[in-house]
Amino acid sequence: MPENTSTEKEKPRIGVFICHCGSNIGGFVDVKAVTEYASTLPDVAYATDNLYTCAEDGLNNIKETIKEHNLDRIIVASCTPRTHAPLFQRTCEAAGVNKYMFTFVNLREHCSWVHMKEKEKATQKAKDLVRMGVARARFLEPQEETRVDVTPTALVVGGGVSGMTAALSLANMGFPVHLVEKDKELGGFVRSLHALMMTTKSANETIRPLIDKVNAHKNITQHLSSHVASVEGFIGNYDVSIGGDGAEPKEVKVGTIIVATGAVPLVPDGLFGYKEHPGIITSSEFEELCNKKELPRLKSVAFIQCAGARGQKVSYCSRICCNVAIKSAIHIAENRDNILGVTEEKAAEAGEAVEEPAAEKKAEEEGSERRRRRRGRGRQAEDGAGEEGAAPSSGVEVTVFNRDVMAYGVENELEFNKAREKRVKFVRYGPDNLPKVSVKDGKLEVGYFHETLKMERTMPVDMVILSTPLVAQPDAATLSQLLKVPLGQDGFFQEAHVKLRPVDFATDGVYVCGACRGPADIAESVSQAAGAASRASIPLANGFVQAEALTSVVDETKCTGCGTCVEVCPYSALRKNDEGISEVIAAACKGCGCCGATCPEGAITMTHYTDQQLLAEAKAALEEV
């Protein structure tokens, strides 16, 4: 026990600091009355009010008062512990009071801001809340945080763009990295793609330098055709078994783990006539055809966006498919890299003249210029479907059926504009009026409801490309269980905080990046991977981690070894020792309290959230004053 805290025999000396938060609390609660009341409560040695407790002078006031009045527990009654507890805890520690002797009372979010029209009742509630805090504080005990050594090695699961970037970042920092990839080569989903947006290089050319760097890096150990077979341990000390095809599993020790397993495109079985005609394909199958140079001669192509997304097979918007469609549409319209697979020889054989690209471009520019002048407005090109006759005489007619175009960001918006300049038509459909793909005499056609004309139309096409969403890897659930990290409702890995901790998991020591967290494009995946690598490097660089002292504690004299706690712990933070008694691995315990509430013998106590503390706090709410 640290010297600076009182022994049990000493009477607690509680200091209460009540904050006006400008007028945020002071305007709706009689703070002076609450402070006066607080000073009458048992074991309260000092009570005061501050205009802003979190300001420099407020914090200094706490520190000085702790010394002056020999306080051993501090209560701040102000805003929410979710944002301000660490600040006040640091202040307490600076003045020699253990941070676990600090209690937060929420007078702003839970009182003044929600009872703005009843000052008297809000003041009464504020008094009750302070009384509850005091009741809790009386039973607090100082805690010491455990320090755990960290193995300075990382594991990256997934050898796609995200995984490679993360591995490379960590390797460049000097940490050994184990990179596990289930395929027999690196590259991930991008390897199957043909062309990318905003670059004239092919997908493979684009990621080649990244693969080469990973291959050449001495700090990276690759495990190809492999998977994570088992994971034991906790932050800093993971024992990972890597299984390969028929090979003996390899055991590695790592300190942190990055999940970068990517995503897969949805197979739109039963949607839009998929598989009923060879011309109905998904956007990823389109990429494959381009790669193999097997694309047939096309005159008219229709993209159908959100095929299977947003309420059909999955609920979410996959974000990237609009940009993929825009990219492909431009490539088709431009016949870039001769994407349509018609070589000059072939064309000559067929007796068809291949358009001079420059002439085509000129015609395009004139066409779009004319149209711009005629319309005098930008985005309304969606109406273009009404002008089927206005399609350029050369090239291919490309129509993108969409619910709305998700071309977010500056670059994507420019590409969207470019597609429209290339006379790609964007036709809207509503969720209740999905386009219908049908085959008539062996020919494809798309029936749709024209939103502007308010009438049904049909469009003959050679090919229908279904833009299907990215969905979670089918084996994501297995990995999530191995690593004890959660999946969201859509099966993607779920980060610790949607805004503030986007590449962390709630489990310390495990991080996430790329499309396994939700659909992401290459640039986003790379930034997330760099972020995840940076987060994962912190414990590696420090060489140790400090575990919060919110853990369960087993009373060995009460434990009968029934093992119920071991079963319910989501983090495997409990195990049976040689004597068959449960023991807690403090570094792995996250303090949820499940084992404590479960233990049939009442042998488990949750530090800092004991029954005694919680009951004192809750029952204090019921006292008549």
Partner 1 sequence: MTEKHHAAHHGKKKVAGDKEWEPKIVGFLCNWCSYAGADLCGVSRFQYPTNIRLVRVMCSTRVSPHLVLDVFGAGADGILIGGCHLNDCHYMTGNFHTEKRVNLMERLLRVAGIDEARLRLEWVSASEGEKFSKVVKEFTEEMQKLGPSKVCTDDMVKAKVAAADDASETFRLKALVGKEFNLLTKGNAYGDKLDPEKLTGIIDAATEDEFERALILELARIRPMSVKQLGKVMDIPTDRILRHIVLLRQNSEIAMDHPEGFTPVYKTITIGGEQ
Residues in contact with partner 1 by CB under 8 A are 80-82, 106, 108-111, 113-118, 121-122, 124-125, 128-129, 132, 484-489, 494, 506, 550, 562, 564, 567-568, 570-571, 590-594, 596-602, 606, 609, 611, 614-615, 617-619, 621-622
CA 505 to chain centre: 8
Residue 570: CB atoms within 10 A of its CB come to: 14
> Minimum distance between the CB of residue 75 and partner 1, rounded to whole angstroms?
14
Rounded-to-integer distance, Cα 540 and Cα 254, Å: 9
> Minimum distance between the CB of residue 471 and partner 1, rounded to whole angstroms?
17
Conformational region of residue 71, where left means phi above 0, alpha means psi within -120 to 50, and beta covers everything else: beta
Residue 118: CB atoms within 10 A of its CB come to: 11
> Minimum distance between the CB of residue 145 and partner 1, rounded to whole angstroms?
16
Q: With b meaning 16 or more CB within 10 Å and e meaning fewer, what string describes 22-52?
A: eebbbebbbbeebbebbeebeebbbbbbbee
> Minimum distance between the CB of residue 45 and partner 1, rounded to whole angstroms?
24
**Is the four-CA dihedral 587, 592, 593, 598 of positive or negative sign?**
negative
Length, in residues, of the chain: 625
Within 13 Å and on the Cβ side, how many CA atoms surround 120?
A: 0
Sequence-ordered alpha helix ranges (H) in 219-342: 283-292, 321-334
Comparing CB distances to partner 1, the nearer of 218 and 499 is: 499
Comparing CB distances to partner 1, the nearer of 43 and 109 is: 109
> Minimum distance between the CB of residue 438 and partner 1, rounded to whole angstroms?
39
Comparing CB distances to partner 1, the nearer of 364 and 504 is: 504
Contact 141, 99 (CB under 8 A): no
Q: With b meaning 16 or more CB within 10 Å and e meaning fewer, what string describes 255-287?
A: bbbbbbbbbbbbbbeebbbbeebebbbbbbbbb
Rounded-to-integer distance, Cα 262 and Cα 601, Å: 44
Question: What DSSP element (H or E) covers 280?
Answer: strand 280-282
> Minimum distance between the CB of residue 236 and partner 1, rounded to whole angstroms?
20
Rounded-to-integer distance, Cα 482 and Cα 233, Å: 11
Residue 361: CB atoms within 10 A of its CB come to: 13
> Minimum distance between the CB of residue 487 and partner 1, rounded to whole angstroms?
8
Comparing CB distances to partner 1, the nearer of 41 and 166 is: 41
> Minimum distance between the CB of residue 491 and partner 1, rounded to whole angstroms?
10
Comparing CB distances to partner 1, the nearer of 530 and 562 is: 562
The SS3 assignment for 620 reads helix
- Identity of the residue numbered 142: P
DSSP one-letter string for 399-424: EEEESS----SHHHHHHHHHHHHTT-
Identify which of 284, 320, 303 has the alpha carbon closest to the alpha carbon of residue 435.
303
The SS3 assignment for 525 reads helix
> Minimum distance between the CB of residue 403 and partner 1, rounded to whole angstroms?
24
What residues contact 585, with CB distance under 8 A and at least 6 apart? 234, 572, 573, 574, 575
Comparing CB distances to partner 1, the nearer of 80 and 200 is: 80
Residue 168: CB atoms within 10 A of its CB come to: 22
Comparing CB distances to partner 1, the nearer of 360 and 495 is: 495
Comparing CB distances to partner 1, the nearer of 426 and 493 is: 493
> Minimum distance between the CB of residue 224 and partner 1, rounded to whole angstroms?
31
Q: Look-up: residue for tokens 């420019």?
A: 414
Identify which of 398, 446, 454 has the alpha carbon closest to the alpha carbon of residue 423.
398
> Minimum distance between the CB of residue 378 and partner 1, rounded to whole angstroms?
34
Comparing CB distances to partner 1, the nearer of 7 and 489 is: 489
DSSP one-letter string for 199-249: -SSBHHHHHHHHHHHHHH-TTEEEETTEEEEEEEEETTEEEEEEEESSSPP
> Minimum distance between the CB of residue 510 and partner 1, rounded to whole angstroms?
12
Comparing CB distances to partner 1, the nearer of 111 and 320 is: 111
> Minimum distance between the CB of residue 619 and partner 1, rounded to whole angstroms?
5
Comparing CB distances to partner 1, the nearer of 117 and 373 is: 117
Comparing CB distances to partner 1, the nearer of 52 and 113 is: 113
> Minimum distance between the CB of residue 541 and partner 1, rounded to whole angstroms?
27
Contact 560, 601 (CB under 8 A): yes
Rounded-to-integer distance, Cα 613 and Cα 610, Å: 5
